Amino acid sequence: MKIAVIADPHFHDIDYRQGVGRGDQVAVRTLADTNASTRVFNESFHATKALLDDIVRRGISLVVVAGDLTDDGQQSTMVAATALLADYSRRFGLRFVATAGNHDLYAIHGRHQSKRFLNTDGSHTLVTSDPAMEQGDSVERIVSDEMYCGGYGAAIPAMGAYGFFRSEGDLHWECPFGTDDRLEARAFEIVSADGRTVRRMVDASFLVEPVEGLWLLCIDANVFEPKDGDLDSRLEKSYHDSTDAGWNSMPRNKGFVLDWMKDVAARANAAGKRLIAFSHYPIIDPLNGTSADEAKLLNDTSFLRRTPGAEVSRAAAATGIKVHFSGHLHINDTAVFRDGDDWLVNIAVPSMVGFPPAYKIVEMDGERLEVETVIIADVPGHDAAFPYYRIEAARERTSAAVTEAENHADFLSRHLAEMVRHRYLPKEWPRDLAALVPQLNLGDLDRLAGTTVPLTSGDAFTFLASAGEPDAPDWQGLPLFEMVVDWYRLRKGREVALDFIDPARIAAYRHLAGRFAAGAWPEGCLQDRLASFMQMMMDWLASAPSRDFSVDLATGEVTSKNHLGRTVLRQTGSA
């Protein structure tokens, strides 16, 4: 049996504008919001279908969804997304098993959502479920209940066909509370940090045996911890968002789930069942040990806030679940955690709305788990929103270079460059380094590595002016900005990113990393910080196999399947 594991479809219906209707007005989100986001919006409409079509072509019938099926849990979006999966189930016999992500629901009562939609003249309209939301610079505001994101009571029944409740054909079904699948039987008390506020919350974890011998352990790692104080339980601000909490909050707030996981793993082993676990959030550090370097270089980033601590990974490994699939971060990664005889492999599944666009195919082969990463580069209709983006860009006098993309994968690669420009550099990088990035090239870095004098970012231009122009190979003219974009490509894609980066660039990066690593730099100087930046890139190049590999289910050893003949799909500029 083969299983497809997908994550973070973030499905958005570009044919339907909430509060207006289908076909009455454009339902395309703005390019400005897309460029500033960690994901694209409009492209999910065709990308999700292309993904499912690929699964059907391969003859796979069981599909695991590791969270964030919907754009942001909006009521009408949930209806459209579940209708799409129901259509594939009806036409092709696909069986979906899912867990809820942080974008699918919010606590018990849900929360408001507000989105900007393009008009045909390039202006935008704000559609919101919140009557108090200001119109901002939109030309119009529409208030619609269809924009509201539901809580557990609304979202889980909407996705109920995906294993959240017992199905007639299931060979086994249970949850941490027993075999009663009613939501009211799956509630628990969650307490604020000061111990004074107690809420009733639902846990939507479940175990299902859809086919003989296969146990799918679906863990609800969403944690909505109440904030201190007597706050209105119906309001979003009354809870700590699960987005950054994830597994770090599980031992404290949902320890009963870890106890249940341990019991399930023991029973699976005793009964000879193949157990695969998945949740929306990574359970092991997805940065493969480079978190300390990232903290040193960039301080507080969204990746670091969402990185599970070692104690959490240790507790998870002690349950004996062995293999866990995750989504959330939109990255392609394999991480292994060992603690004595305990071990755990976390396989991070990419998204079709973030670089790189891919999913995983899993096959049991004796005592090994075989994993294949499938890139979906070509998506029919990938450019459906491009005409609207060009009109918007002309109106706002901004760049629409992303619309020059040749296919969906190229679009996402270009989008990543825009994210670096509009999000990562201005919001996550220290100001002095962010200011240097657009002004330096690799030749400048080579000269900075060649001096024994430690420099500050402010000294860099004075030094470079005095150092003169180098007699150097062509690669030295490559802008540092391009290297930073490739840094993020490797950070998100690992092995898969090599399909999108010219091998000559990789050789240049290795050369520079070696030059900086050979220096003895005082901590905190410019060269020391650049050395950390490059060392992280080298660590990702040498990280555990993340493309096509196998996991020894007895030892946790991860073995790569050589991917020979790799070619660059496209070397993307970032103009």
Task: Give the residue extent of every domain in the chain.
Answer: 2-375, 429-560
Question: Are 346 and 292 in contact, with CB atoms under 8 Å apart?
Answer: no
Side chain identity, residue 514: G
Question: Are 73 and 102 in contact, with CB atoms under 8 Å apart?
Answer: no
Q: What angle do CA 244, 247, 249 make, to 5 degrees?
A: 75
Interacting residues of 245 by C-beta distance below 8 A, sequence separation 6+: 223, 225
HSE-CB of 571 using CA atoms within 13 angstroms: 10
SS3 208: strand
The span from the CA of 227 to the CA of 107, in Å, is 12
SS3 50: helix
Predicted confidence at residue 229, as pLDDT, reads 87
Give the DSSP letter of residue 422. I
The span from the CA of 437 to the CA of 255, in Å, is 44
Give which of 142, 130, 101 is closest to 235, Cα–Cα: 130
The span from the CA of 532 to the CA of 491, in Å, is 14
Predicted confidence at residue 573, as pLDDT, reads 42
Q: Are strands 62-65 and 124-128 parallel, antiparallel or unpaired?
A: unpaired
Predicted confidence at residue 470, as pLDDT, reads 61
Residue recorded with tokens 């076909």 = 23
> What angle do the packed helices 503-517 and 526-541 form, to 10 degrees?
130
Please report the DSSP string for 127-182 in residue order: EES-TT---TT-SEEEE-GGGPBP-HHHHHHHTGGGTTS--TT-SEEEBTTBS---
DSSP alpha helix (H) spans, 191-346:
242-245, 250-253, 255-271, 291-298, 302-305, 310-317
Burial 308-323 (b: 16+ CB within 10 A, else e): beeebbbbbbbbbbbb
Specify burial of residue 121 (Cβ count, 10 A radius: 0-12, 13-18, 19+).
Answer: exposed
Question: Are 330 and 47 in contact, with CB atoms under 8 Å apart?
Answer: no
Question: Which helix (H) or strand (E) element contains residue 496?
Answer: none
Question: Which helix (H) or strand (E) element contains residue 221?
Answer: none
The span from the CA of 112 to the CA of 128, in Å, is 7
How far, CA to CA in Å, does 562 sit from each of 256, 346, 369, 495, 505?
Answer: 41, 20, 16, 11, 21
Give the DSSP letter of residue 420. I
The span from the CA of 325 to the CA of 356, in Å, is 17
Digitized pLDDT (tens) for each residue of the chain, 575 residues in all:
899 999 999 999 999 988 887 777 789 999 999 999 999 999 999 999 999 999 999 999 999 999 999 999 999 999 999 999 999 999 999 999 999 999 999 999 999 999 999 999 999 999 999 999 999 999 999 999 999 999 999 999 999 999 999 999 999 999 999 999 999 999 999 999 999 999 999 999 999 999 999 999 999 999 999 999 878 889 999 999 888 888 999 999 999 999 999 999 999 999 999 999 999 999 998 877 788 888 888 877 777 888 899 999 999 999 999 999 999 999 999 999 999 999 999 999 999 999 999 999 999 888 999 999 999 999 999 999 999 999 999 999 999 999 999 999 999 999 999 999 999 999 999 999 999 999 999 999 999 999 989 999 989 888 888 876 666 677 889 999 999 999 999 999 999 999 999 999 999 999 999 999 999 999 999 999 999 999 999 999 998 899 999 999 999 999 998 654 344 444 434 43
Question: Are 372 and 354 in contact, with CB atoms under 8 Å apart?
Answer: no
Residue recorded with tokens 């231009």 = 461
Predicted confidence at residue 471, as pLDDT, reads 60
Give which of 102, 146, 128, 78 is closest to 239, Cα–Cα: 102
Q: Are strands 198-202 and 358-365 parallel, antiparallel or unpaired?
A: unpaired
Which of left, alpha, beta for 289 (phi over 0: left; psi -120 to 50: alpha)? left
Question: Of all residues in the chain, what percent are helix, strand and coil, respectively (each to 5)?
Answer: 40, 20, 40
CB neighbourhood size of 110 (10 A): 21
Predicted confidence at residue 570, as pLDDT, reads 41
Residue recorded with tokens 């103009």 = 575
Assigned CATH class of 2-375:
alpha beta
Question: Are 350 and 357 in contact, with CB atoms under 8 Å apart?
Answer: yes
The span from the CA of 226 to the CA of 241, in Å, is 9
Q: 513-546, pLDDT tens digit by residue?
A: 999 999 999 999 999 999 999 999 999 999 889 9
The span from the CA of 10 to the CA of 69, in Å, is 5
Interacting residues of 52 by C-beta distance below 8 A, sequence separation 6+: 63, 84, 88, 94
The two three-digit tokens of residue 230, written as one number: 């007597």
How far, CA to CA in Å, does 325 sit from each of 268, 360, 444?
Answer: 18, 10, 41
Q: Is the peptide bond before 356 cis (omega within 30 degrees of 0)?
A: yes
Question: Are 247 and 283 in contact, with CB atoms under 8 Å apart?
Answer: yes
The span from the CA of 501 to the CA of 489, in Å, is 8
The span from the CA of 217 to the CA of 153, in Å, is 21
